[in-house]
Chains A and B, each alone.
Chain A
Amino acid sequence: MTIPGDEIGYDSRVEGGVVTSRLDAAINWVRGHSIWPMPMGLACCGIELMAVGASRFDIGRFGSEVMRFSPRQSDCMIVAGTVTYKMAPAVRRIYDQMAEPKWVIAMGACASTGGMYRSYATMQGVDRILPVDVYVSGCPPRPEALLDAFIQLQRKIAAEPSAKNLVPA
């Protein structure tokens, strides 16, 4: 685990084969390094998303190479492109079908704010229907920007009180 702020203490001379850690850190370590994306490619950002998945940029380095086209099997919806009002209910329904825990990345200007589409047909930011965790600027963003978004998301996941969330309040 290399995410800063984590507390994993290990001294082989004292503890032998035992690793002590917080349950949060262990859960978040697992979650943060196998974020299976739900590729919601709606416009040209989808093309950059494909580049991120291909060998040159290789999203597999961050454990997210398994693009799932089923919401039941994915953890993180990447909204890549212009969300029209006609498409918005479908986006929200797919998000609702994803199992918890789940995260959302708004990729690019359109998904974040409506972008250059100030018009009757375009939802002005997907955060009007989804809780967005990471916004990525760009039109479309470079693949590196999306990889950075994944690193940001890993940091965010590392700070979650996951063990507490396991127990119903």
Chain B
Amino acid sequence: MEDLKLSQLTGSYPFLTPRSSSDHPAVNCPVENLLELAGALKEREGFDLLSDITCIDWFRSSPRFSAVYHFYSSIDHRYLRVVVPLQDDEHPRAPSLTGLWPAADWHEREAYDMFGVEFENHPDLRRILMWEGYDWHPLRKEFPLAGHDTELPDEEIRRESGTRVIPAPMEGGPFAASQERGIMSRSEPRGADESWNESKEKPQ
């Protein structure tokens, strides 16, 4: 049933290519056809709900960023995943879907905040989780988990407290208090991974 739908889709919209997926039907869509496809999905195919927008950073390959859209049809009760490779590897751009689904607003702000994807014609493209003036996009692959040394968002508090945003300590992670292996509640596997911290360079 779902495969049939997918082949119908790729038949109706020849710019789509099928994409392997382990759950929902998925297609690749070129960025220049995204608005056309989104409008058609909403008006003709019954995908009336935009469930999620996120992004993938395919570090060291080009095109580096892909925007990922999840559409849901409350009529047919099915999902469709649309993956859109974005052109520029440093300043990726995508058209905004806020004109079609108001839900796109905050999802796109999150993708902008975390990955730096610029959504064209977005009414209010500001950061949503990090603060204005933060210099990085934290979910990009080159961003270290510990973070970067920078200043607190508030000028007055910065002066009063003398505190900065500092990289979080990675050595001896939060679950690594015990070296004992075996029972998971006593030895968190992630905590035992010391392959990358202050004293060891991140392996390339």
Contacts and interface: CB of A to CB of B under 8 A. Distances in A.
Interface residues of A, number: 19
Contacts of A137: none
B170 A120 contact: no
Contact of A120 (B160, B167, B169, B174): B167
A116 interface: yes
A122 interface: yes
B168 A129 contact: no
The main secondary structure of chain B at its interface with chain A is loop
Interface string B86-120: 00000000000000000000000000000000000
Interface residues of B, number: 28
A21 B61 CA distance: 77
28 contacts: A85-B131, A86-B129, A86-B130, A86-B153, A88-B157, A89-B152, A89-B153, A89-B157, A92-B157, A92-B160, A93-B154, A96-B160, A114-B168, A116-B174, A116-B175, A117-B168, A117-B174, A118-B168, A118-B169, A118-B170, A118-B173, A119-B145, A119-B146, A120-B147, A121-B138, A124-B169, A129-B157, A129-B163
Contacts of B40: none
Given A124-B169, A129-B163, A118 B157 contact: no
Contacts of A128: 161, 163
The main secondary structure of chain A at its interface with chain B is loop
A115 B175 CA distance: 10
Given A89-B152, A89-B157, A120 B163 contact: no
User: Top 9 nearest A-B pairs by Cβ distance?
Assistant: A120-B147, A89-B154, A89-B157, A118-B168, A116-B174, A129-B161, A92-B157, A86-B131, A85-B165
Contacts of A89: 152-154, 156-158
Contacts of A117: 168, 174
Contacts of B130: 86, 121
Contacts of A116: 174-175
Nearest to B154: A89
B122 interface: no
B106 to A, nearest CB: 16
Contact of B143 (A85, A88, A120): A120
Contact of B174 (A86, A88, A93, A115): A115
A88 B152 CA distance: 8
Q: Which of A114, A116, A120, A128 has the most CB of B within 10 A?
A: A120
Contacts of B145: 118-120
